């Protein structure tokens, strides 16, 4: 079976939380794991090796995880900290999670260095862009007043819009003859300046925000701004995300027979 690592999301230590008081929690979203597991995939959360204070520092590195696994998914979650791309937060609530940024950017680079495929989802697309030197819109609503409402808490994953696929792109190859699809939208930040050697493969319509990016480098790096794991199974009004999953897993399968050593 193919072994796919999923980056962890963080609940940082909080003395007011009634459960695991004062402890840092790392977790993955169930829907994403199950989306991957619809194929013959073993999924693993990759815990951050940093941050321990009660025991000696971990000898396990992000490079070791990249060696042991066949591919990486950078999952959604909290905002990317503006300091990660050289800015200051315009509002305190947009300050994001710098600790998670550093961990995921390091994880991304470890897998890329070993030629292992990376798939970014929502925040993961933004992390990929920042890891390659790009920047983000900190808040679509205030910085791009012409744009659609890309996050509506009241309906969350039911919020959606049209997305156009760039002709001739890798994404277009997966959807021959398709130019316009429907995707969900649960983000308030978005790609602003594109990172090095990245190309846009899909745009939201009609406001033209970046919805999918791909690295033109030697290994597989692709990311979407929507959540494929949130799309209702069997609802033909949404894009069928399984070609994206299968394309990523095909890239990962190249590595599955390698010797695993942690």
Q: Active-site residue numbers?
A: 122, 227, 229
User: Which tokens hold the place of 35?
Assistant: 């989306």
* Residue 182: closest CA among 125, 228, 247: 228
136-137 vs 190-191, strand pairing mode: antiparallel
Q: How far apart are CA 112 and CA 221, in angstroms?
A: 8
For residue 32, the Cα-to-chain-centroid distance in whole angstroms is 11
Distance in angstroms between the alpha carbons of the first and the last residue of the chain: 18
**201: buried, middle or exposed (CB in 10 Å: 19+, 13-18, 0-12)?**
buried
Give the Å distances, CA to CA, from 134 to 19, 34, 43, 75, 151.
37, 30, 29, 18, 22
């Amino acid at each position: 079976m193919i072994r796919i690592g999923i980056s962890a999301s963080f609940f940082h230590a909080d003395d007011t939380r009634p459960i695991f008081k004062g402890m840092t929690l790392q977790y993955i979203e169930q829907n994403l794991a199950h989306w991957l597991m619809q194929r013959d995939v073993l999924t693993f959360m990759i815990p951050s090796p940093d941050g321990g204070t009660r025991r000696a520092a971990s000898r396990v590195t992000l490079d070791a995880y990249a060696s042991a696994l066949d591919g990486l998914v950078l999952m959604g979650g909290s905002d990317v900290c503006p300091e990660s791309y050289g800015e200051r937060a315009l509002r305190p609530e947009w300050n994001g999670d710098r600790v998670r940024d550093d961990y995921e950017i390091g994880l991304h680079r470890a897998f890329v260095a070993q030629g292992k495929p990376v798939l970014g989802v929502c925040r993961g697309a933004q992390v990929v862009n920042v890891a390659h030197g790009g920047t983000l819109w900190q808040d679509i609503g205030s910085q791009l007043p012409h744009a659609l409402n890309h996050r509506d808490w009241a309906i969350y994953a039911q919020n959606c819009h049209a997305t156009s696929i760039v002709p001739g792109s890798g994404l277009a190859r997966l959807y021959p003859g398709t130019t316009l699809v429907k995707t969900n939208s649960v983000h308030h930040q978005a790609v602003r300046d594109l990172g090095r050697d990245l190309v846009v493969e899909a745009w939201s319509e009609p406001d033209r925000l970046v919805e999918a990016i791909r690295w033109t480098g030697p290994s597989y790096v692709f990311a979407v701004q929507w959540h494929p794991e949130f799309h209702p199974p069997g609802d033909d009004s949404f894009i069928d995300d399984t070609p994206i999953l299968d394309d990523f897993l095909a890239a990962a399968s190249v590595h599955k027979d390698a010797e695993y050593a942690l």
